[in-house]
Structure 1
Amino acid sequence: MSIRDANVALLPEPTALIGGKRFEDGSAELVPHRYAATGRHTMDVPSGGPLSVQAAVADARSTLPQWRAIAPDARRRLLLKLAELIERNAEELTDIQVVENGTPRAMAAMYAPMVADCFQYYAGWSDKVGGEVHPVWPTPGLDYSVLEPDGVVAIIIPWNSPLFSLGTILAPALAAGNCVVVKPPELTPFTSLRLAELVLEAGIPPGVVNVVPGGAVAGSELVAHPGVDKIHFTGSGPTAQRILTAAAANFTPVGLELGGKSANLVFDDADLEDAAQLAVMAALQLSGQACVAGTRLLVQDSVYDDMVQLCASKITALPLGDPADESTFFGPLISGAACERVLGFVERAKADGRPTIVTGGARVGDSLADGFYVAPTLIADVPRDAEVAREEVFGPVLSMLRFRDEADAVALANDSPYGLAAYVQTNDVARAHRVAANLEAGVIWVNGLGGLPPSVPFGGYKHSGVGRLGGRAGLEEFSKRKNVWLAL
């Protein structure tokens, strides 16, 4: 199997985009970007520092009055124009994602339409955000409240699905009337920069959306900046803790979409063929590099052995290879370091002696050896206290655990610091509702993968986050409420 070289020519210039212009930060460190499928260098990305961040925040703040003053119907039309441009450039955005982080093309092709849908949905909210009138006593008066934009919003996104992550945050933030500074990682700056170019093409004023690719230095400068009115971070718990500490100095509110160790509960009355297919898809799409991945597969004792065999056969049947190939399901991980981290979990599980490595568990060799590939891995008979059952691996590793009955299943699923998503497989409707009511997770899918349309609120419990994206809740995430009382 041969891997095609990355089409570097389609990548946008990786320099920061501030106020509608490229910003050259003389102090920026150059970080090499590598194509995950081959490990080869594509180009160097300037990693923004304090100068870039300060310029971006200043530009966003100076543009804020202009953006807030745009009439709601005009904002609606601008966001609809942006959605149209995203749809028109969907193939280009798909190809950029393949090169950016090795996302398999079939998966990458889903993201641009989903992001366009986000902007179409929130465009509809732009001219529908009204206020509320409240009863008051004992003094007569007219009391009402209105939603206003937070102001300048700092958006920090991860490398695993940057286009989708940015779209789901940017759409409600702009619809609410905010200006933004986006910090994508240096590993994956390209879709964010291309989306920002489309923002300008749509006629949205320069300075409304600013993009500063960068690492920890840029992130630290951004979250501590007194000119930032709201922070939204998608990423890991330890980084979120540092952001909360930095934000405390300015009392800056923070929204968090963090990691997960999502449980997938399979009861003995489920259709096992369907349940096994869903288990593999829920856990191993994007090679497991997804916060909602159902990487804890909890199966009732009576059907456990059958599920092991079914899952193993379905995993081995899915094609692994060139992410530019439409038929590829398993692509590479983001980096060589990610491969080592994921395989570290597998090696420690082997050393424990209790789990069984059913399939996978090693770096992929031969023609894929230079890329960042780990074979999709199924681990059975995983103890409840095992590291691989409790910590987020963020790689193609599916851990299978046993449970006795419904109460045991719910207790096992909830025995985690995370609470982002959960999956339930059962043909008993009453059980589905009971279990969903008792699971400590922000989103629960029953007997299928329902996706995340922009109309539904999404966010986590416990260590998986604070706040919600999607629906009216997503609009309110980037708004503040003002109350007015008028004497009568």
Structure 2
Amino acid sequence: MTATPTIDTEPALLIGEDRLAEASGGTFDHVFPGTGQVNAVIPMAGPEEIDRAVRSAAAAQREWAALPVERRRELMIALARAIDADTENLARLNVHDYAVPIMMAPGQVGLLSKFFDYYAGWIDKVTGQTAPVMGSHDVNMITREPYGVIGVIVPWNGPLVGIAMAVAPALAGGNAVVIKPPELAPLAPLRFGELCREVGLPAGLVNVVPGGPEAGDALVRHRGIGKLHFTGSGATAKKIAVAAADTLKPLSFELGGKSANVVFADANLDRAVMIAAFMGPLTQSGQSCACGSRILVERSIYPEFQERLVAAVAHVPIGDPFDPSMMMGPVVSAAAADRITGTIDEAVRSGTGRLLTGGKRLGGDLAEGYYIEPTVFADVPNSSPLAQIETFGPVVSVMPFDTEDEAVAIANDSDFGLVAYAHTSDFERAHRVSGRLEAGSVWINAFSEIQPSGPYGGYKESGYGRLGGIEGLHEFTQVKNTRITLGS
């Protein structure tokens, strides 16, 4: 039986030089999803702490921007090395946070350090340009400058990845940050904040303030925030957009998906099935924005693909996420488990497709945790809620197609467009299809693998703005045009 793990540090808000074990937002009993039992009590920020964090960040940003670029680069590289040295601890806290299996948690820590290494290299390369002014010999300079203080609201399903993708370019662009991790996953982000202090970043440059909706609303509305980035659900993003309208604050969003995974008959079927299983119900128990939950399969291989996919997910080791032999753990909360099983039950009741495998909560020694079997439906109409509404759990839909045009039409028939997958051995088809799929990232014969050098973000209701690459750096800088008159 999974035992509820305990943490060996007292969670505290990190604001400026201070650690606050008490805050105006009260406390939150953090539950370990593997057992359903409390493993930490989290102090919660309220508007008072948000204001204090923003003011602290504004002062630190001025100090940060005044440092020589080589010193800023050195500090970001030092932070990357500190993250590497703390990999085991950060990975363990990731599991405490939301029960990602320990076999996968270190990879998220590695991505965090890679982003800081990558953006450290951009610090002295954010160059501007000059442009001629008609009828004049004036100097006309176009430069990029920081926004000041960036608000970063990170998701519970990979908080360190969210920090990597937004905080690293924000600091490289000369900004300070206020990070609001969710109450469901605050522990690893708080440790990241401690590492920022340990390597010598200016006090207040990185503030970490766990909180709920009230804290999030205060951060969005605060006039000291120059820009805000949010990763999470579309429903919350719409509320943020309304709240930010008071200050016309610029926003960037990385939101959900209902991503299509298109498998053509000429694909390497072994690899396509492996990727469909892993990027479908298995990775983080399907709690991934990049989950390929709509699997489109060419009709001639449709029966064989179903058999192989069911076999691939049916024997996956599921259990205690601290056990390194487990590939799949629980979903994040009791509410999530109820929502996901409710979606499955409704699909079965309404006859939406055929349930091939899974569909139930796991019992026995795992009954107290939030474990759900990997679940596969076949013959799912693309117009159904099962195919159109993000489940955010270990549930995928398999559906047939006959032609390339039909596959593309089904794949694009969605309100979302974060990522898409396609499998084919035809190089020309790969180019055609990737150009036609309406998604911010298209993965051909490949897993979804975020890299610091590649821009990542969505089309349609999957958000706007990009994280990663030079596009990610530009997301956290604003353009200034300066004209200097030469002569009278």
Distance 1:253 1:160 in 2: 24
Aligned counterpart, 1:130 = 127
Aligned pairs for 1:411-450 (under 5 A) are: 411-449=409-447
Q: Deviation at 1:48? A: 1.1
Which residue is 1:357 aligned to?
355
Q: 1:229 is matched by which residue type in structure 2?
A: G
1:311-353 Cα shifts (integer Å, max 9, x gaps): 0000012111110111211101110110011111111110111
**Alpha-carbon offset, residue 29 of structure 1:** 2.0
Separation in 2 of the partners of 1:52 and 1:393? 34
Cα deviations across residues 125-174 of structure 1 (Å, max 9, x unaligned)?
11111111113212222212111111110000111111111121110011
TM-score for the superposition, normalised by structure 1: 0.98
The letter of the residue matching 2:427 is V
Task: Give the secondary structure class of the aligned counterpart of 1:105.
Answer: coil
CA distance in 1, matches of 2:264, 2:333: 37
Q: Note if contact 1:20-1:210 (Cα within 8 Å) is conserved in structure 2.
A: no
User: For 1:64 and 1:448, how far apart are their aligned partners in 2?
Assistant: 40
One-letter code aligned to 1:8: I
Query: 3-state DSSP class of the match of 2:122?
Result: helix
Verify the 8 A CA contact 2:154 2:231 in the aligned structure 1: yes
What is the aligned partner in structure 1 of residue 6 from structure 2? Answer: 7
Give the structure 1 partner of residue 235 of structure 2. Answer: 238
| Structure 1 partner of 2:69 | 72
2:57 corresponds in structure 1 to: 60
CA distance in 2, matches of 1:28, 1:475: 33
Asked whether the equivalents of residues 4 and 324 of structure 1 are also in contact (C-alpha less than 8 Å), the reply is: no
Deviations 1:40-81 (A, max 9, x none): 111221221111111111111122211110111100000000
The answer to whether 1:95 aligns with 2:100 is: no
Match of 1:316 in 2: 314
Deviation string, structure 1 residues 171-197 (Cα, Å, up to 9, x no partner): 001111101111001111111110010
State the alpha-carbon separation in 1 of the partners of residues 411 and 469 from structure 2.
27
Secondary structure class of the residue paired with 1:154? strand
What pairs up with 1:25-424 in 2 under 5 angstroms? 25-284=22-281, 285-424=283-422
Aligned residues: 485
Contact 2:10 2:21 in 1 (8 A): no
Summarize the Cα distance change of 1:331–1:255 in structure 2 as closer, same or farther, 3 Å threshold. same
1-structure distance, mates of 2:59, 2:485:
35
Q: Is the 8 A contact 1:469 1:477 kept in 2?
A: yes
Shift of 1:26: 4.7
Name the CA distance, whole Å, in 2 between partners of 1:21 and 1:346: 46
Identity of aligned residues (%): 44
Runs of 4+ in 1 over 3 A off after TM superposition: none
| Rounded Cα–Cα distance in structure 2 between residues aligned with 1:286 and 1:140 | 59
Q: Map Cα deviations across residues 410-446 of structure 1 (whole Å, 9 max, x no partner).
A: 0000000000000000011100100000010000100
Secondary structure of 1:351's partner? Answer: helix
Q: Give the match's secondary structure for 2:229.
A: strand
Tell me, in whole angstroms, the C-alpha distance in 2 between the residues paired with 1:26 and 1:472. 38
User: Equivalent residue for 2:456?
Assistant: 458
CA–CA distance in 2 between the matches of 1:49 and 1:7? 26
TM-superposed CA distance for 1:108, in Å, is 0.4
Amino acid corresponding to residue 288 of structure 2 in structure 1? A
Aligned to 1:19: 16
- C-alpha displacement at 1:487, in angstroms? 2.3
CA-CA distance at 1:5 after TM superposition: 3.1
Q: Cα distance, 1:24 vs. partner? A: 5.1
Quick check: 1:287–1:332 contact (8 Å CA) kept in 2? yes
- Supply the distance in 1 between the matched residues of 2:3 and 2:168 (Cα, whole angstroms): 34
**CA apart distance, 1:450:** 5.2
- The answer to whether the 8 A contact 1:53-1:222 is kept is yes
Q: 1:396: Cα distance to partner?
A: 0.3
**Unaligned regions of 5+ residues in structure 2, if any?**
none
Q: Is residue 23–residue 52 contact of structure 1 (8 Å, CA) maintained in 2?
A: no
Q: Distance in 2 between matches of 1:27 and 1:197?
A: 21
- Distance between the aligned counterparts of 1:434 and 1:315, measured in 2? 31
Partner deviation per Cα, 1:202-261 (whole Å, 9 max, x = no partner): 110110001110010000111001111100000011110111111111110001000000
Letter in 2 for 1:252: K
Residue 25 of structure 1 deviates from its aligned partner by 4.8
3-state SS of paired residue (2:103): helix
Asked whether the 8 Å contact 2:296–2:400 carries over to 1, the reply is yes
Q: Note closer, same or farther for the CA distance 1:203–1:21 as it changes in structure 2 (3 Å cut).
A: same
Unaligned runs of 5+ in 1: none
Output the CA distance in 1 between the equivalents of 2:326 and 2:396: 19
Between 1:12-21 and 1:277-286, the stretch displaced more is 12-21
Worse overlay, 29-38 or 457-466: 29-38
Q: Tell me if structure 2 keeps the 8 A contact 1:25–1:52.
A: no
Q: Does 1:484 align with 2:482?
A: yes
The residue matched to 2:474 in structure 1 has which SS? helix
TM-score by length of 2: 0.98
Alignment-mate amino acid for residue 104 of structure 1: P
- Mapped to 1, the partners of 2:446 and 2:40 lie a distance apart of 40
